[in-house]
C-alpha cells in the first residue's frame, strides 16, 4: 500500500509538472488527465472510495471534453513536447523546486502521514465519504439548489459568450 500510494503521489507531482511547464495543449491536457487519474488513486489510498469514483467519472469526463476541444482548437503541425528547448527549462526548474521542497520537509514525512477516512475509529457502519453524500442531500439541500443554479448560470454564460458568428464574444464585430 505504501509503495502504491508513493507511486501515486510521485505521479501526481510529475503530472502537475507536466501541466505547469507550458507545453503544447495536447500534452498539457495529457498531463492534466494523468494528474487527475493518480489524484483519484491517492484518494483511494486515503479511503475515499466513493469520492474518488465521482471525481474520476466527472472530472475526467470533463477533462476529456476539454482535451478534445483544445486538441481541435490548437492543432499544430509541430507541438512542443516536454523535451523541446522552450519547455525543458520549466520542467527542470519545477523538478528542482520539488526536490528542494521535498528535502526541506523530509524530516516530517513518515508512513502514517496519511490516515484512511474514519481509520482512527474502531467499528463504523457508514464510511466517511458515503455518509458525507447523505449529509449533503439532507442538510445541504439549500446548497445543492445554489449549486444547480450556478450550473445553469454557467450554461447561460458559456452560451452567451460563444454564440454564433457576430453575436458571440469570440469573434470580432
| Site residues (vs other proteins, CB under 8 A) | 143, 146-147, 149-150, 152-154, 156-157, 159-161, 166-173
Q: Which is nearer to other proteins, 83 or 112 (CB)?
A: 112
Q: How far is the CB of 158 from other proteins (least distance, A)?
A: 9
Shortest spacing between CB 132 and other proteins, in angstroms: 13
Long-range contacts of residues 64-69, Cβ cutoff 8 Å, at least 24 apart? 64/33, 66/29, 66/32, 67/29, 67/30, 67/32, 67/33
As given in the structure block, the three cell numbers for residue 40 are 483519484
CB of 3 to other proteins, least distance (A): 25
User: How far is the C-alpha of 76 from the C-alpha of 79, rounded, in Å?
Assistant: 6
Whether 147 contacts 154, CB under 8 Å: no
One-character DSSP codes across 34-79: HHHHHHHHHHHHTT-HHHHHHHHHHHHHHHHHHHHHHHHHT--SS-
Shortest distance, position 142 Cβ to other proteins, whole Å: 10
Judged by beta carbon, residue 134 or residue 136, the one nearer other proteins is 136
Amino acid at each position: 500500500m505504501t509503495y502504491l500510494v508513493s507511486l501515486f503521489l510521485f505521479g501526481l507531482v510529475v503530472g502537475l509538472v507536466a501541466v505547469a511547464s507550458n507545453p503544447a495543449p495536447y500534452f498539457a491536457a495529457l498531463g492534466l488527465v494523468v494528474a487527475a487519474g493518480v489524484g483519484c488513486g491517492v484518494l483511494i489510498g486515503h479511503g475515499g472510495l466513493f469520492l474518488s469514483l465521482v471525481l474520476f467519472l466527472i472530472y475526467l469526463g470533463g477533462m476529456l471534453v476539454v482535451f478534445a476541444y483544445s486538441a481541435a482548437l490548437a492543432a499544430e503541425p509541430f507541438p512542443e513536447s516536454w523535451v523541446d528547448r522552450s519547455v525543458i527549462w520549466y520542467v527542470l526548474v519545477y523538478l528542482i523546486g520539488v526536490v528542494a521542497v521535498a528535502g526541506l520537509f523530509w524530516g516530517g514525512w513518515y508512513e502514517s502521514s496519511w490516515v484512511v477516512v474514519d481509520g482512527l475509529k474502531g467499528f463504523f457502519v457508514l464510511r466517511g465519504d458515503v455518509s458525507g453524500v447523505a449529509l449533503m442531500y439532507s442538510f445541504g439541500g439549500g446548497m445543492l439548489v445554489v449549486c444547480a443554479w450556478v450550473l445553469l448560470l454557467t450554461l447561460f454564460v458559456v452560451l452567451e459568450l460563444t454564440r454564433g458568428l457576430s453575436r458571440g464574444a469570440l469573434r470580432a464585430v
